[in-house]
Chains A and B, each alone.
Chain A
Amino acid sequence: MNGAHEGTPQTAGPPYKRIGMKETVEAIKNSAHYKSKLTGKNRGRGMATGFWFNIGFQSSAMVNIHNDGTASVVTGSVDIGGSRASMAIITAEVLGLDVNDVRPLVADTDSIGYTDVTGGSRTTVATGLAVYEAAQDAVRQLKERAAKLWEKKPEEVEFNNGVLSSKNNGVKPMSIKELVPRLGRTGGPITGRATVNARAVGPAFASTCVDVEVDPETGKVTILRATCAQDAGKAVHPSYVEGQMQGGTVQGIGWALNEEYFYDAKGVLRNSGLLDYRMPTCLDLPMIETVIVEVPAPGHPIGSRGVGEVSIVPPPAAVANAIANAVGVRMTELPMSPGRVLKAILHKEGAAVASAAAD
């Protein structure tokens, strides 16, 4: 009834196109986690949903066909979350090559056209679009060369799964590998190129479910189980999508429970080391469960949405809601460190005692 959907006006005005907000909530409701029963004292379950715009912006890409029939894909997008693998996958998809026959590279600023930052969850969507188009450009050139050899028009040549063929006059189909030795005499090497300013960008939603146990003596919150469901549009490399979902969830839990800049009265930072600026480690958390939801982004040839960010958004609220469910206190300050949670519990107990005394 309240969930945003296609046509809902966004805060800044224009309505959403197709989005997967409700689908992520449904995915949580259908998850093994949500269907499991949570038992035990001082335990609670909470849920929350988060939104992030995602951006498109400018990217450049080149696809080089090598003499042995393999290819390289060159972009200006620094690889933080596994984007080289995704660029190779997209190139392999279009060229019909094995993914290991595509070498992905990140070039310096003089060796590739302008490319915006790896950020805003834009790389797979925007640089991926440039790579998709650059690979298509290479395919167009491959067709032209085959047409020259076969003395046909380029539109008479078909390209499927890395094989060039032509229906008319029964020419023998030819793989990229077979065509490559003939590139020299049909016009020289092939480099596919594309530059884009990606405008068709699908926003992302994630919903997160968290089970916690609160120690009423110390206020310490332990995460028992956490599941993130996120709309990826179309996951190009599902393992790295899951990695992003898990990483964002962990950072969100750190923000929820521990992380905080401590300044003294003079404004000097007193916890400028990782012993005192406490991020969660693998000892603090269970394996984060993930459900990839795929509601394709309209207008994108693959349907991908950015996946790098939104998973960090729901955890603090989900943890706060789980704490409320566990021990009946509403936390309104981040991080919900043991001291703050204990204070809230004692305040609630004190209020109960005071009201009992007044009765």
Chain B
Amino acid sequence: MAATTEGTHQFRVIGTRPIRHDGVEKVTGAARYGADYSFPGMLYGRVLRSPHAHANIKSIKTDKALKLAGVKAVVTGADLPELPDRIEQGGELPINLHHLSCNILARGKAMYDGHAIAAVAATSPHIAEEALRLIEVEYEVLPPVMTVEDAMAPGAPILLSSLRNKEDGPDKQTNVAAHIQFKRGDVKEGFAKADYVIERSFKSAMVHQGYIEPHNAVGIYNSDGHATIYCSTQGTFVVRSLSAAVLGIPEGKIRVVPAEIGGGFGGKTTIYLEPLSVLLSQKTGHPVKLTMNRAEVLRATGPTSGGTIRCKMGATKDGKIVAAEAWMAYEAGGFPGSPVPMAAMCILAPYDIPNILVDAYDVVVNRPKTAAYRAPGATNAAFASETIVNELASAS
């Protein structure tokens, strides 16, 4: 496996291959992952999840669950503060805190199969699981909207009543959270110069990062108002700031301790169980541990978007690509925020093309809210453009 080196200056240690410092702990099993943390008096939490892809939540009754011996607390969306339903600058990326909070525990509406509805803390995982069955939720089931085509069709059921986009204005309800456009030159003129034009429509499926270690969190709320979260995450400071926002606790009062992490690939850059562990600890006065099983990971954490891409490119006889056009619509999941803005900047990035037009749409559908996955959005984009480039190369 040869490496080609160009012009880097000489280093003594950089570029060598020592055994990793954390290697022995890992191969001997001594390394502590998130689910390995335990504390005296610790309770176990479980999350009740929606069996419906799209439903209004008419009522949630928790009294039967609370009466079960060993159950110490049940929380629902009503236990979290309401946050502003607008995009704010959160750290490096804009974020809608209302949507984030609704993804932690649903408010009024279940947006996808697996959406968190309530959480329980009990003296054993089995009692917590049993208690989930005693929570009575009355749903009004609504038609699910699963594809970008269905969500963008005129008259499509509206998934989020308050969602608007700049283009359609403040009065029009929509499932399109954003339309982004990039333009250079004049594609019409460019295609007129082309001897070969290839145009195709592509589809890609929603896929999951597939990290081996499911999500986990242990929350400890102290009576002095400080909280500690032990969890496996890609970003302790993100867990701190987002959990603080969702819980309404000042950021400086939360300490996040990173466990060893069993894979993330972008999927562990946001929060799911972390604020619930603190909320349940706050209610019970005990440390609370929550862990997901595999089905929960796949149903209710953030995979990456599938969607539709139409791509058109034109080249001259001597092989120069003179124009390219792309139309892309990505599934955001139950709340806005697919990686389509980045995909739009990636789809033509390897090439020097004088005339381009890229239109990208972030579309809400009844699927889990997408999260980052390794070069988010770029892989499905390259599937389209690199196929066309290959076809053009064979043609010209």
Contact = CB atoms under 8 A, between A and B. Distances in A.
Given A2-B351, A308-B374, A314-B386, A242 B205 contact: no
Contacts of A242: 1
A294 B144 contact: no
Contact of A205 (B237, B350, B366, B386): B350
A93 interface: yes
A273 B295 contact: yes
B383 A316 contact: yes
Query: Max chain B CB contacts within 10 Å: which of A49, A82, A267?
Result: A267
Contacts of B321: 2
A192 interface: no
Interface stretch (B35-43, B129-137, B257-265, B275-283): B257-265
B46 interface: no
B234 A78 contact: yes
B109 interface: no
Interface string A21-61: 10100010000000000000000001111111101010000
Contact of B382 (A53, A260, A294, A317): A317
Interface in A275-327: 277, 279, 289-296, 302-303, 308-310, 312-318, 320-321, 324
Interface residues of B, number: 103
Given A80-B234, A235-B15, A269 B114 contact: yes
Query: Max chain B CB contacts within 10 Å: which of A118, A203, A251, A254?
Result: A118
A172 B63 CA distance: 79
Interface stretch (A83-91, A139-147, A178-186, A348-356): A83-91
A5 to B, nearest CB: 7
B17 interface: yes
B18 A259 contact: no
A119 B266 contact: yes
B208 interface: yes
Given A117-B269, A259-B205, A269-B298, A93 B346 contact: no
A53 B339 CA distance: 13
Query: Max chain B CB contacts within 10 Å: which of A117, A161, A320?
Result: A117
Given A272-B294, A289-B1, A48 B390 contact: yes
A266 interface: yes
Interface string A318-357: 1011001000001111110000000000000000000000
B73 to A, nearest CB: 26
Given A251-B265, A269-B299, A5 B352 contact: yes
A115 to B, nearest CB: 6
A288 B279 CA distance: 45
A12 interface: yes
Given A4-B350, A317-B390, A93 B11 contact: yes
Nearest to B251: A109
B62 to A, nearest CB: 24
B3 interface: yes
Nearest to A79: B22
Given A53-B342, A254-B210, A302-B14, A118 B349 contact: no
Contacts, number: 318
B16 A234 contact: no
A312 B375 CA distance: 7
B235 A313 contact: no
Contact of B236 (A53, A108, A294, A320): A108
- A contact residues, range: 35 or more
Given A260-B206, A321-B386, A316 B306 contact: no
A169 interface: no
A168 interface: no
B349 A11 contact: yes
A332 B236 contact: no
Given A242-B1, A267-B52, A309-B375, A316 B382 contact: yes
Interface stretch (A63-71, A96-104, A148-156, A213-221): A96-104
A46 B347 CA distance: 18
Interface string B228-239: 000011111110
Given A251-B265, A268-B113, A296-B8, A84 B20 contact: yes
A96 B14 CA distance: 11
Nearest to A93: B13
Interface in B347-380: 347-353, 356, 358, 366-367, 372, 374-375, 378-380
Contact of B144 (A11, A23, A259, A266): A266
A294 B206 contact: no
A257 B28 CA distance: 34
B350 A295 contact: no
Given A274-B294, A313-B375, A116 B12 contact: no
Interface stretch (B97-105, B116-124, B171-179, B195-203): B195-203
A170 to B, nearest CB: 27
Interface in B1-33: 1-8, 11-22
Given A8-B352, A12-B345, A310-B378, 10 more contacts: A51-B378, A89-B13, A108-B257, A261-B206, A269-B114, A277-B208, A279-B210, A312-B379, A316-B204, A317-B387
Question: Which 6 A-B residue pairs are closest in the complex by CB-CB distance?
Answer: A267-B53, A267-B144, A117-B235, A317-B386, A51-B349, A48-B386
Interface of A: 1-5, 8-12, 21, 23, 27, 46-53, 55, 57, 76, 78-80, 82, 84-85, 88-90, 92-93, 96, 99-100, 103-104, 106, 108-110, 114-119, 161, 203, 205, 234-240, 242, 248, 251-252, 254-256, 259-261, 263, 266-269, 271-274, 277, 279, 289-296, 302-303, 308-310, 312-318, 320-321, 324, 330-335
8 contacts: A2-B351, A4-B349, A27-B4, A47-B390, A106-B258, A109-B257, A267-B366, A294-B3
